[in-house]
Structure 1
Amino acid sequence: MKFLLSLGVFLLMCISAQSQKVKIIEETTSLPIVGAIIYNESKATSVMSGIDGVAKLGQFSSDDWVFIEHLLYETSSFKLSAILEKTIFLKPKIEGLDEIVLSASKFQQSKRDIPQKIISISAKSIAFSNPQTSADLLESSGNVYIQKSQMGGGSPMIRGLSTNRLLITVDGVRMNNAIFRDGNLQNVISIDPFTIQNTEVTLGAGSVVYGSDALGGVMSFYTQNPQLSTSDTLSFKANAVVRYATANKEKTGHLDLNFGLKKWAFYSSVSYTDFDDLRMGSHGPSEYLRPEYVRTIDGADLMVANINPLIQMPTGYDQINFLQKVRYKPQEDWTFDLGLYYTTTSDYSRYDRLIRYKGDHLRSAEWNYGPQRWFMGNIQVTKLSSNSNLYDKIQATMAYQNFQESRMDRDFGKPKRNIREEAVDAISANLDLEKQLGTKTELFYGLEYIYNQVASSGSEEHIGTGTAFPTVSRYPNGSNWQSVAAYTSLKYKPNPKFVFQTGVRYNHVVLHADFTENNAYLNLPYTKTKINTGAFTGTAGVNWNPNQMLALKLNASSAFRAPNIDDIGKVFDSEPGAVVVPNDYLQPEYAYGLELGIKFNIENKVILDMATYYTLLDNTLVRRDFTLNGATEIMYDGELSTVQAIQNAAESRIYGLEVGLMVNFTEALKLKSDYNIIGGREEDDFGNRTPLRHAAPRFGATHLIWQRKKLHVDAFATYNSELSNNQLAPSEQGKGYMYASDANGNPYAPCWHTLNFRTQYQFNKAISLTASLENITDQRYKTYSSGIAAPGRNLIFSLKYTL
């Protein structure tokens, strides 16, 4: 009898302990909150909510007073007995001042303490904006301008700089490689938006932490981390998404799975997208129409009429993305992460090259990029607590990446197809450390090593016979680029209202290039070249928050970009009748910047955020006319072409103003607006001043947002000012095939605007629907410097199922 009584008491205690739990969800969306910390007053006991938002409270005493805390939500406190077996709603913070960012130092810091402007885009925001590519994701930030030469592309512009003057990182690993060019880049589309947990865009220089290329900004993408189980049993979560868009008949499918144990977790993801040819809008410049295109029938090139000139033929392609991540957490302060990433596209047309005419017919019969492939494997080891005299936190990252791309083009009526293929193997190792020197001072420091090996080949293929012969490659085959660096930065916070941060970095870059193979075609006056150069960069900035209403930021920085293989050894046709050849005498370019920011917060009802900046880009690497063995013209791909080369031949001055406004009418209704003004001039060695090539027109977006419980609605407008012919850079003035024509017949970029509506409805915890109607008035427009017109009226809808 005593045994049965004891057993009954034991079972009741077990049942009681199992029932002591709470579910934590977001107030506005009713979605579970992962990673909320629950702790008692002494902080001696704490638990974390799992992927279903549930936390078990059996470790607490019944009379405990507990606190629920999350970085993105307001902290709440309750008596434990009042929340058992209940659902707790957390309210999102109205503004992200207390948001934690990683990109500023590789370790978590409060956004409030960073003297630079950083834009954060959460996974929830990404799911709502529903971008087709990561380029579209960046565009939704309101401060990044996107150029597109074709649908399979998207080249970011930040504060008047772009391409290889901006840095892209994925989970802390730099994606920029030795052949990142000064022309428009498409590499960002290799990052799958479905897998992104958070994106941070640092506006302005980031060379102290990231080294070469981070002149205008850093785009840091952080993918989803595998979620561990909060109990001794296996936890499982899955998401499936299907999406369709009318403008390019997009068909997308995505699936991700998370398996979590106590110490091990696994996250797997696959996405597939198929795009058809893109339809432009009905109302706009007639110069953008596609009246005819080339078809090859029985080996003969024919110009055929486009049945629907609004359809940009050919622009369609498909893409597949894979991601596999593994997390092992043997102790609370130790984490081991493995990531495997792979993406590939099909062949896709470079549309801006297919709309050029030569006389009365189209210049190119075909101009395709081959599959853009990217693989990365990285291992990251993190320790967040240590008694070492050298560090409190330490993170080591090693990564291998392989990039593959190719170009295939053929002139109209010609049997010869030019094929050029490139591959880069990139190895990197980073060691980042943090040390608390006192209650007011933190030290961050680290080491970095990067090695890139370039393979490049060229061939000419006869489309009739299939025979192929070697020809000049785009880059010197077997060339390499390597960098070694050390950096340190200091954060001093004497009180909650004032923060001072400063840092310095030394970077040494060595480049080797061997032109022996290409000299059979170019007859260069040298066969090998080497760059061996170093650079110091620094930053210093302050944050001052005298009261709840006012915040001030001031930051000064220097940054650099060392010449890479693309600068020193590229051979390509930059435009019809011009060829770029290698130049073995190049030096780094430097950027010196000053930024001032001010924020007014009127009782969390009206928030006005403004920043102004000035950047001097010295020793600028630009493409200019050149001579090769005394000749100003050479034959290239069968055409007499003007010789050009990348040279340190300019100085650029860039300035701008960014304005952001948030008006919270109620908890549910708010207005958000961003506007960007960018200006500047480029001056060559002879004192000639011209507009900057990558300075975007004035652009912005205004959103009226309503969010309550299961429904999220956004009515918004995007807009862009005009650039007249004399405001275009000289290189853009020569691209009449890409622009509209003004009253004098000269190319210019017209102003444009779109009206859009987006909504998301959460039917239950498993099913949600997101629908957008973009460009409602069906405007025909191009973003600045783009060869392809933007989508016309576009209905996008996606359905998500969560298990």
Structure 2
Amino acid sequence: MKFLVSEFMMRKICFGVIMLFFQLISAQEITVRDAENQEPILNVAVYNLDKSKTVITDFDGKCNLSIFDRNERIFFKHISYQARRSTKAQILKQKGNIYLVLKAEQLDEVVMSVSKWEQQKKDIPQKIVSIDAREIAFANPQTSADVLQSSGKVFVQKSQLGGGSPMIRGFSTNRLLLAVDGVRMNNAIFRGGNLQNVISIDPFTIKNTEIIFGPGSVIYGSDAMGGVMNFYTQKPMFADVDSLVLTGNANYRFSSANTENTAHVDFNIGKKKWAFLTSLTYNDFGDLKMGRHGPESYLRNTYTQRINGEDVLLTNPNPEKQLPTGYDQINLMQKIAYKPNNNWLFHFNTHYSQTSDYSRYDRLIRPNSAGDGLRSAVWNYGPQKWLLTNFQLYKKGKGKFYDGLKVTTAYQHFEESRNDRNFGETTLFSTKEKVDAISTNVDFENKKIGNLRLYYGGEYVFNKVGSEGTQTNIETNSIARAASRYPDGSTWQTVAGYLSGEYKVRPNTTLLTGLRYSHVWIDALFDKTFYPFPFDNADLNNGALTGSLGISWFPKADLQITANGSTGFRSPNIDDIGKLFDSEPGAVVVPNADLEPEYAYNAEFGVRKNFNDKLVFKGAAFYTYLVDALVRRDFLFNGQSEITYNGEPSTVQAIQNAAKAYVYGLEFSLEAFLTDNITITSNLTLTEGVEEEDDGTDSPGRHVAPTFADLHFIWKNQKLQTDLFLNYNGEIAFDDLAVSERSKAFIYASDTNGNPYSPSWYTLNLRTQYNISNAFKATLSLENMTNQRYRTYSSGIVAPGTNLILGMGYHF
């Protein structure tokens, strides 16, 4: 009996020892993560000092440290990250996580915008710039327009604080295409004037932004003439284990120049097959204060206010404060993902953005005809609203004609309005627009044909425009109908198909080519109640064939040469054919039903040279020729060159196929990796452009940005990152100023001859981010440290003066 008890006890002890052994083994499993985004890192080499003990992290960033002694020094090394060392005891105290910081000279990333499928960036012959969540978090931008500007490669114009209109290679607004998660954001009323729709995208939700320079019409169709800006937002994260996993972020930001207060929170609930991501951001922006040193003409010396039923011109007690410019905004995002197995993935996504009313500042500073006051008492946009809901299906596997399938269906709703009233007048003129847009995209990837990868698919887009106009007597509150901005109930739709191929000619040479055919229809019926239009309706029916051919060649491992030729087109939209609005003081744009598409022909050459992984130089030269350009020019309306609009005699203009244009330029960037901690980067963009009229006369291009550049000195270690940088914009003299810009002298400085021009400017800035812990991060930035007073080219609002930005972020 004693023997049996003893045997039983021995078995129990052995079992306990075995269980303890496995628990110890399990407890020594750690995860190596990216210090910025907390994501696991694959293929990290983990070894001791003499490399006699080595393990590698798996797909989930995990490895087991059981072979290492408790206080043995352990090294962590990955080609894309800074090396780190620690001990097993220290790592286990940190709940089994160790964090690595990405090197500045990280490997070439994968991009998606060129084909809608993952491709190596090095195989793309076009210039494409990526801005990831890590860079966005460090820049801490107020809006997505500022995200683009912070790259140093995109010029951004602002007419008001609630604005941001990108310019790329001499193109802007409806000649550039915006996309969110691959869904086209451009709609039928995207205009040729400056746009602010990009601010509807919440920068806190962006995972990656890809900017294509040059035409992208093969994949994106109409409007993608000068470039494409694709914003990819964060995705719901699934759990690695069967149990539910909750993670999230909370952020706060304050900016002194406009007393901004921004709060953001997001959280992710993940299971094996289901994942949910919710995001909420609220922005409160006050009136913007300009800098102290610069042109006196930029000061806001007077402003209007209605007192006791009368408009009064008041002296601004602080002329550096731009009254009124403040507004607030809310952004919501909800994503649901379902993954039944490794071959199928379903996403249902909703984005919603809404601003308060916000003033069109450049219109509020226009002088009256006598020059002794201001023309407008009120000029503001009503709430800008944007709703996007989309369903996306991804399938991978061995289909008969494809290896990958994506189906994306989307519904979008846009709302915007304009309200203006002249000083001393009692009538408030308002227009309100709504656009409902539905789209379906089907995209395929085929990797089965040797060294050839094919991408092909189709697209259908339908837009319906609602537009109404009213005039309100502010004293009696009586409301009457007025002319709408667009033909109410008009529609714009397109059907397209495309084929693109990537062919690996040799291991060091890749060809990329593609073709797309698009067909566009417009149906608009004009209301003649207020203006006797010389036509009843506009029915446009046109097609366009576009293509591209490019090569990426590595004659040496450290040298890349690219060449690309492509065409782009833009079909007229409802804004082109049916708009009725005041474009500038004393001018009114009227509808024109006789329009054709405009086409761009582009050639680009690029070079990238890597000098021993210490210095990387990139350069690109481009030339784009635009024919049948849709431009605003003087026009006759029923034989009249002038009509009365909103009570004011106005010169008649219309959008017309009246010009040719060419744009050319050079783009350079430099990255110098002095040490693992110190990096210098710089960008320089030079662009020239001319519009050629039918009568042979030339004029400077309106959306051709001045020379702009930046220079960054970056230092970082595991805890701290610091960026001291200089931004520079060159001068645009009066003779180089577009004719349409010369008429807006009130937003420009005056040269020695009294003519308007855009002066050069520079700012000196400092940006820092400190990792208090793996969960807490703090940012502190000081922009425009020398307090310069400047306006970026064509902007109505003056840029911020010295601006202190404080931010806090918490990851849980």
Q: Which of 486, 505, 508 is matched with 1:494 structurally?
A: 505
Whether the 8 Å contact between 1:97 and 1:112 is mirrored in structure 2 is no
Whether the 8 Å contact between 1:706 and 1:714 is mirrored in structure 2 is yes
In the TM superposition, 1:388-787 aligns within 5 A as 388-515=399-526, 517=527, 519-787=528-796
Superposition deviation, residue 19 in structure 1: 2.6
Whether the 8 Å contact between 2:592 and 2:654 is mirrored in structure 1 is yes
1:263 aligns with 2:268: no
Q: Which of 369, 381, 385 is matched with 2:381 structurally?
A: 369
Q: Which runs of 5+ in 1 are unaligned?
A: 61-67
SS class of match (2:556): coil
Superposition deviation, residue 34 in structure 1: 1.1
* Distance of 1:70 and 1:442 partners within structure 2: 30
* Distance of 1:218 and 1:70 partners within structure 2: 33
Superposition deviation, residue 55 in structure 1: 3.3
* Distance of 1:480 and 1:756 partners within structure 2: 47
Q: From the superposition, tell whether residues 409 and 278 of structure 1 become closer, same or farther in structure 2 (CA, over 3 Å).
A: same
1:55 aligns with 2:59: no
Q: From the superposition, tell whether residues 735 and 246 of structure 1 become closer, same or farther in structure 2 (CA, over 3 Å).
A: same
Whether the 8 Å contact between 2:36 and 2:101 is mirrored in structure 1 is no
SS class of match (1:98): coil
Aligned-partner residue type, residue 170 of structure 2: G
In the TM superposition, 1:123-134 aligns within 5 A as 123-134=133-144
* Distance of 2:25 and 2:404 partners within structure 1: 35
SS class of match (1:124): helix
Superposition deviation, residue 669 in structure 1: 0.3
Q: Deviations over 1:586-640 (max 9, x none)?
A: 0000000000000111001111100000000110000011111111111111111
Q: Deviations over 1:647-674 (max 9, x none)?
A: 0000000000001011111110010000
* Distance of 2:621 and 2:288 partners within structure 1: 37
SS class of match (1:476): coil
* Distance of 2:573 and 2:620 partners within structure 1: 32
SS class of match (1:314): coil
Q: From the superposition, tell whether residues 70 and 681 of structure 1 become closer, same or farther in structure 2 (CA, over 3 Å).
A: farther
* Distance of 1:765 and 1:46 partners within structure 2: 20
Whether the 8 Å contact between 1:767 and 1:799 is mirrored in structure 2 is yes
Superposition deviation, residue 203 in structure 1: 0.9
Superposition deviation, residue 4 in structure 1: 3.9
SS class of match (2:577): helix
Say which is worse superposed, 264-273 or 181-190, in terms of deviation: 264-273
Whether the 8 Å contact between 1:145 and 1:157 is mirrored in structure 2 is yes
Superposition deviation, residue 18 in structure 1: 3.5
Superposition deviation, residue 91 in structure 1: 6.1
Superposition deviation, residue 389 in structure 1: 2.0
In the TM superposition, 1:339-358 aligns within 5 A as 339-358=349-368
Which structure's CA Rg is the greater one?
A: 2
Aligned-partner residue type, residue 236 of structure 1: L
Identity, % of aligned pairs?
Answer: 51
1:216 aligned residue: 226
Q: From the superposition, tell whether residues 639 and 562 of structure 1 become closer, same or farther in structure 2 (CA, over 3 Å).
A: same
SS class of match (2:555): coil
Superposition deviation, residue 539 in structure 1: 0.3
Q: Which of 287, 312, 328 is matched with 1:302 structurally?
A: 312
SS class of match (1:127): helix
Q: Which runs of 5+ in 2 are unaligned?
A: 1-7, 46-55, 68-75
* Distance of 1:734 and 1:550 partners within structure 2: 47
1:790 aligns with 2:802: no
Superposition deviation, residue 98 in structure 1: 2.1
Superposition deviation, residue 297 in structure 1: 1.1
Q: Which of 169, 194, 209 is matched with 2:204 structurally?
A: 194
SS class of match (1:362): coil
Superposition deviation, residue 283 in structure 1: 0.4
* Distance of 2:635 and 2:694 partners within structure 1: 14
Aligned-partner residue type, residue 493 of structure 1: K
* Distance of 1:56 and 1:341 partners within structure 2: 38
Q: From the superposition, tell whether residues 75 and 506 of structure 1 become closer, same or farther in structure 2 (CA, over 3 Å).
A: farther
Q: Deviations over 1:302-334 (max 9, x none)?
A: 000000000000000000100111111111232
In the TM superposition, 1:238-277 aligns within 5 A as 238-277=248-287
1:8 aligns with 2:4: no
* Distance of 1:215 and 1:96 partners within structure 2: 31
1:313 aligns with 2:323: yes
Whether the 8 Å contact between 1:116 and 1:555 is mirrored in structure 2 is yes
Q: Structure 1-normalised TM-score? A: 0.94
Whether the 8 Å contact between 2:689 and 2:704 is mirrored in structure 1 is yes
* Distance of 1:543 and 1:656 partners within structure 2: 20
Q: From the superposition, tell whether residues 35 and 215 of structure 1 become closer, same or farther in structure 2 (CA, over 3 Å).
A: farther
* Distance of 1:96 and 1:534 partners within structure 2: 43
Q: From the superposition, tell whether residues 305 and 16 of structure 1 become closer, same or farther in structure 2 (CA, over 3 Å).
A: same
SS class of match (1:791): coil
Q: Which of 241, 248, 272 is matched with 1:231 structurally?
A: 241
Q: Deviations over 1:360-417 (max 9, x none)?
A: 1100000000000000001111113x21121001111000000000000000000000
Q: From the superposition, tell whether residues 520 and 87 of structure 1 become closer, same or farther in structure 2 (CA, over 3 Å).
A: closer
1:34 aligns with 2:39: yes
1:380 aligned residue: 392
1:146 aligned residue: 156
Superposition deviation, residue 15 in structure 1: 2.3
Q: From the superposition, tell whether residues 124 and 153 of structure 1 become closer, same or farther in structure 2 (CA, over 3 Å).
A: same
Whether the 8 Å contact between 2:522 and 2:574 is mirrored in structure 1 is yes
Superposition deviation, residue 90 in structure 1: 4.9
1:18 aligned residue: 26
* Distance of 2:457 and 2:77 partners within structure 1: 31
* Distance of 1:762 and 1:730 partners within structure 2: 50
Superposition deviation, residue 233 in structure 1: 1.6
Q: From the superposition, tell whether residues 118 and 180 of structure 1 become closer, same or farther in structure 2 (CA, over 3 Å).
A: same
Q: Deviations over 1:459-484 (max 9, x none)?
A: 00000011010010000000000010
Say which is worse superposed, 632-641 or 688-697, in terms of deviation: 632-641
Superposition deviation, residue 235 in structure 1: 1.3
* CA RMSD after TM alignment: 2.6
Whether the 8 Å contact between 1:71 and 1:99 is mirrored in structure 2 is no
Q: From the superposition, tell whether residues 245 and 366 of structure 1 become closer, same or farther in structure 2 (CA, over 3 Å).
A: same
Superposition deviation, residue 298 in structure 1: 2.0
Whether the 8 Å contact between 1:117 and 1:202 is mirrored in structure 2 is yes
Q: From the superposition, tell whether residues 87 and 546 of structure 1 become closer, same or farther in structure 2 (CA, over 3 Å).
A: farther
Whether the 8 Å contact between 2:621 and 2:664 is mirrored in structure 1 is yes
2:3 aligned residue: none
1:63 aligned residue: none
1:290 aligns with 2:295: no
Q: Which of 334, 340, 350 is matched with 1:330 structurally?
A: 340
Aligned-partner residue type, residue 340 of structure 1: T
How many residues get paired?
Answer: 784
